[in-house]
Structure 1
Amino acid sequence: MLICHCNIITEKEIEETIIRLLDQDRWQLIVPAKVYHAMNKRGRCCSCFPNVVETIIRVTEDYHTRSVTSGADIVSHLDRVRTLRDQYGRKAHERRTASHRAA
């Protein structure tokens, strides 16, 4: 599936990059900018970043589930990532409140 239309990046390419980053350091915080930098790309319109974040979470969960890690470490790390995503990513859209109307 095509994730980034601006750079023509597929979901498989993003998943491979995330796994490569996790192989280097399995507990690093991976964000879309780090994934794009590892691929020698950059976000242009950045509308793909929410999908990239979801892919990062899914691949990270799968990676740690397959590895020999205690379940408590996985849960606490991913809960922190989800909390940051909820805090900074989904509640505000372009810093507008839900009651904001253009007309």
Structure 2
Amino acid sequence: MLVCSCNIITQREIEDTIRQMLDEDPWQLIVPAKVLHAMKSRGRCCGCFPNLVETIIRITEAYHRESGATGADVIAYLDRVRELRNKFGSKFHERRYKGHRAA
């Protein structure tokens, strides 16, 4: 599945990059710009960032679940990440306000 049409990046490429980053440091904070930088790319229209955030959270949860980390560590870490997403990312979705209607 194509996630970023500006850079032509697929879901599989993003997931692999996130796993490589987690192999280097399992508790680092991974953000969309950091993932794109690791892929030698950059955010252009940034419309893919909400999907990147969801992918980062999903892959990080799965990675820590498979690695055998204690549940309390994983939950505390991901709650902090979700809190940041709610604080900074909930106002816009693909640069549109929640109440935005096309028609």
TM-score where L is the length of structure 2? 0.89
Distance 1:80 1:15, change over 3 A: same
Aligned to 2:80: 80
Deviation at 1:96, TM superposition (A): 6.5
CA distance in 2, matches of 1:79, 1:14: 22
CA distance in 2, matches of 1:58, 1:44: 23
Aligned to 1:56: 56
CA distance in 1, matches of 2:80, 2:3: 25
Question: Residue 26 of structure 2 aligns to a residue in which SS?
Answer: coil
CA distance in 1, matches of 2:44, 2:20: 23
Identical-residue share of aligned pairs (%): 62
Name structure 2 gaps, 5 residues minimum. none
State the Cα RMSD in Å: 1.7
How many residues in Structure 1 have an aligned counterpart in Structure 2? Answer: 98
CA distance in 2, matches of 1:5, 1:28: 27
Aligned to 1:37: 37
The question of 1:10 aligning with 2:20 is answered no
CA distance in 2, matches of 1:3, 1:97: 21
CA distance in 2, matches of 1:76, 1:27: 11
Question: Residue 13 of structure 1 aligns to a residue in which SS?
Answer: helix
CA distance in 1, matches of 2:97, 2:14: 30
Give CA deviations for 1:20-65 in whole Å, capped at 9, x if unaligned.
Answer: 0000000000000000000000010000000000000000000000
CA distance in 2, matches of 1:50, 1:23: 23
Deviation at 1:8, TM superposition (A): 0.3
